[in-house]
Structure 1
Amino acid sequence: MERRTPPTAMLIAVTMTGPLALNIFQPSMPNMARVFATDYATIQLSLTLFLAGVAVGQLFYGPLSDRFGRRPVLLGGLTLYVLSSLVAMVAPTVEFLILGRIAQALGGCAGMVLTRAMVRDIYTRDRAASVLAYIVMAMAVAPAIAPAIGGYLESWFGWQASFLFVAVFGALVMAAATRWLHETNFQRIEGASLGTMIGIYGRLMRQPVYAGYALSVAFSTGAFFAFIGGAPYVVIELIGASPQDYGIYFILVAVGYMTGSFIAGRLSMRYGVDRMIRLGVAISTVGVVAMIAAALWLPLSLFGLFAPMGVIAMGNGVSQPSGVSGAVSVDPGVAGSASGLLGFSQMALGGLLTFIIGHALSDSAWPLIIMMAVCTAVGYGAFVHACRSRLRAARATLSEARAGD
């Protein structure tokens, strides 16, 4: 059966659903605490458990899409996303709100997993990296614009408007996906049991090439999560700036990431996956060195923190699409599962690093800077491990072929 190429714009829209819902409601959180007569920490659970739902949900969407196809599983996830957004909008208690947010996360992460798998179904390894680069840009755009949209909706209409906005956006995306997003997986695996899923994940984790690429992506993402976990404290408590200043300077990070993704989209086909990862790591390393130098020789400042982070984000934008393509290309027959496990590792490691940095920061920004430097170094080490493992496997295959002759 012929595969029809999904429109890239459609894949981008589907990918944006999860990141848009992640933090569009953040400007409403203080008001929601008053509305539900609870404390801020309880409302914060609706964000923390959303991240947990995204991490866990990705583990299941991959195997399900390998078994039943990408399209029906994606449409099911989008349906859950829309319905749960409406549940959250009319939640009578904070408990209902949190449950709605968890379901919203489980629905929203479908697009994050399945677009990567669909791209790999259609394109070759290097071409997939190029297409993924443009899709990954949505992961930077949506979180960057969502708080601004949520802030205006909160001011004009109240906290429920953000959830209505997300539900309407999800419904439009679902309608468009029903019309234009065709099935891409025609090599289904048999069975969809828990045992089968665990077996597939075990098989992937035992492959050094997959583990190397996946860990490379996870740790480069980890540097970003460490930053968003620690930077607000550094900005407000150590530098003495305002939350508005944080929001304005964070644009440098979003622009850096989008620029890197655009570069990857333009150059991945020409230079290939591995060279793009090396280029991205080199750019991120320049940013890390610049951040260390600024901390050593200059007073702590917003520009000294965010400008180097913008360079690090640019490097991540260059390297991550190729890292994702490298990981999901290792075993194309289970590309959905590979994408789900990769997404889980990103979110799980990111959540862990966010928790650690929250407890490590006190009167200095050095714990944050050191953690980001370590993440960059470990990510590159994992990539080197993947390259060496693939080279060893190629040599072994060549030796077997020669022995057979």
Structure 2
Amino acid sequence: MNQKPPIYLFLLLIIVSPMAIDIYLPAFPQMAQNLNSPINDIQVTITLFLAALGLGQLIAGPLADRYGRKPLIIAGLIVYIISSSIAALSQQIEILWLSRIFQGLGTCAVSVSVMSGVRDSYSSERTASIYSYINGVICVIPALAPFVGGWLSETWNWRATFCFMSGYALLIAIICLWRLPETRPANTVCSTKLINWQQYKPILHNATFQFNSGLVMLAMAIIIAFVSIAPVRLMLELHLDPTSFSLWFGSNAIINIMASFMAPIAIKKLGKTRALQFAISMCTLAALLILLLSNIDHPFAFMGPIFIASTGFCLILGICCSSALAPFSQRAGTAASLLGFFQMAGASALVGIVNLMPLASLHIMAFVMALPLAWFVCYKRDVTLKVYDE
């Protein structure tokens, strides 16, 4: 039997993804000035990163099943280190764009391997707790990274933020070479062809995966919608200054942290079925409240429902990530890659489509918050309950 990796290693590894999004945000104006580019071109670096992170999942999963979790993690960290270093040295915006694409691909390799490594090493009951802890760590970074990035960019310049990313990944790579065991089961199933759409069919046709990955995608859509709508609602419509906006925005990260670390307790006490129903109810309540309070011009009228929905989001992720991967011990890498694809690319595309609807920003937010309930109700009830009661 393969040795179980220390949980702290999974938590340290998963940090590379949110760090690459949040740590350099305070340096945007400085980057635009230094690279002589409009701020919109700097914002594109986030879009390119997320696109590479989402689409790369479809290749990273089969690679993890074929070559193992540890080799892919090390390879992903190496790509991340090199691309972060190139970003730090960039003199043209096009080079920065290219480096961000490869940074997203490196991050993708690490994320898929972490998710499949957890599935390899722990029981279904234990993975629900670990995925909640992982989500909690992911939520810590948006609260802390901008402060670190602001200090780095003010003390040196924006390039220091990418040097920090590279240095962190190098340190973690050294620790992984020393402490991370391979977790891939000996009976792992992998296709003879790396890109073979047939390998995804058994996973996509599995009712358990369909139901849980759908909820993961819809829950993630709530967070992405919040990130895109919050600046409009709080700064443009409610006229908050940047400092006040940062405090309100960061407060949701704190809620996510608390909810993620409390989720395992709630799941254990309520059971997966009742905890999931409670989580979906919270998202639905948030949708109703954000509509009822829409005429109140105070930040809490917007952020209060967001706090409630974010708590539901943390519960859904803890339950549904583990349940979606539970049937696939022999192809955990491929299953994790599909789950990550739906969670990132699927949720981003969904929010993009919803944003095209002729609705006010708060109505869009409420609509997205109500989608988990619609999925839960429309899906077959026998699948909905059977998954968690076994």
CA drift of 1:377 comes to: 2.3
1:314 alignment partner in structure 2: 311
| Structure 2 residue 368 is the aligned partner of structure 1 residue 369 | no
Cross-structure match for 1:325: 322
Q: Which amino acid aligns with 1:180?
A: R
**Secondary structure class of the residue paired with 1:332:** coil
Query: 1:293: Cα distance to partner?
Result: 2.3
Judging changes above 3 Å, is the alpha-carbon distance between structure 1 residues 225 and 108 closer, same or farther for their aligned structure 2 residues? Answer: same
Offset at residue 207 of structure 1 (A): 1.5
Q: Which residue pairs with 1:388 in the alignment?
A: 383
Are the aligned partners of 1:229 and 1:357 in contact in 2 as well (CA < 8 Å)?
Answer: no
Q: What amino acid is aligned across from residue 345 of structure 2 in structure 1?
A: A
Task: State the 1:251 CA deviation.
Answer: 2.4
Match of residue 403 from structure 1 = none
Per-residue deviation at 1:169? 0.8
Describe the shift of the 1:283–1:33 C-alpha distance in structure 2 as closer, same or farther (beyond 3 A). Answer: same
CA offset at residue 374 of structure 1?
3.0
What's the CA shift for 1:226?
A: 0.9
Identity %: 26
> What is the aligned counterpart of 1:349 among 318, 322, 346?
346
Measured in 2, the distance between the counterparts of 1:152 and 1:260 equals: 28
| The 10-residue stretch of structure 1 (69-78 or 37-46) with the greater mean CA deviation from structure 2 | 37-46
C-alpha separation in 2, matches of 1:103 and 1:314 = 32
Distance in 1 between residues matched to 2:377 and 2:251, nearest whole Å = 27
Aligned to 1:401: none
Structure 1 position 12, deviation (Å)? 0.5
Q: Deviations over 1:286-345 (max 9, x none)?
A: 3333322222xx513211111220111111112211100010112221111111111111
Equivalent in the alignment of 2:299: 302
> What letter matches 2:348 in structure 1?
G
Q: Residues 185 and 268 (structure 1 numbering): CA distance in 2 closer, same or farther, change over 3 Å?
A: farther
- The 1:160–1:24 alpha-carbon spacing in structure 2 relative to 1, beyond 3 Å, is same
Instruction: Tell me if structure 2 keeps the 8 A contact 1:82–1:170.
Output: yes
Q: Secondary structure, in 3 states, of the residue corresponding to 2:181?
A: coil
CA distance in 2, matches of 1:51, 1:176: 26
What's 2:289 paired with? 290
Structure 1 segment 5-404 matched on structure 2, within 5 A: 5-186=4-185, 187-196=187-196, 198-295=197-294, 298-356=295-353, 358-360=355-357, 364-381=360-377, 384-385=379-380, 387-388=382-383, 391=386
Structure 2 CA distance for partners of 1:290 and 1:160, relative to 1, 3 Å: same
Q: Distance in 2 between matches of 1:337 and 1:385?
A: 25
Tell me, yes or no, if the aligned pair for 2:50 and 2:344 is still in contact at 8 Å.
yes
Alpha-carbon distance in 1 for matches of 2:145, 2:355: 24
Counterpart contact for 1:287–1:308, Cα < 8 Å = yes
- Judging changes above 3 Å, is the alpha-carbon distance between structure 1 residues 386 and 257 closer, same or farther for their aligned structure 2 residues? farther
User: Matched residues in 2 for 1:126 and 1:225: separation?
Assistant: 28
Structure 1 residue ranges without an equivalent (≥5): 396-405
Please give the secondary structure, in 2, of the residue aligned with 1:144.
helix
TM-score normalized by the length of structure 2: 0.93
Q: 1:85 to 1:195 in 2, by over 3 A?
A: closer
Contact persistence 1:277–1:319 (CA under 8 A): yes
How much is the aligned-residue C-alpha RMSD, in angstroms? Answer: 2.3
Deviation at 1:360, TM superposition (A): 5.0
Higher mean displacement: 256-265 or 334-343: 256-265
Q: For the Cα contact (< 8 Å) 1:129–1:273, is it kept in 2? A: no
SS at match of 1:37: coil
SS in 1 for 2:293: helix
Cα gap change, 1:71 to 1:269, in 2 (>3 Å): farther
Change (3 A) 1:190 1:111: closer
8 Å contact kept, 2:59–2:194: no
SS at match of 1:300: coil
Secondary structure at the aligned position of 1:333 is classed as coil
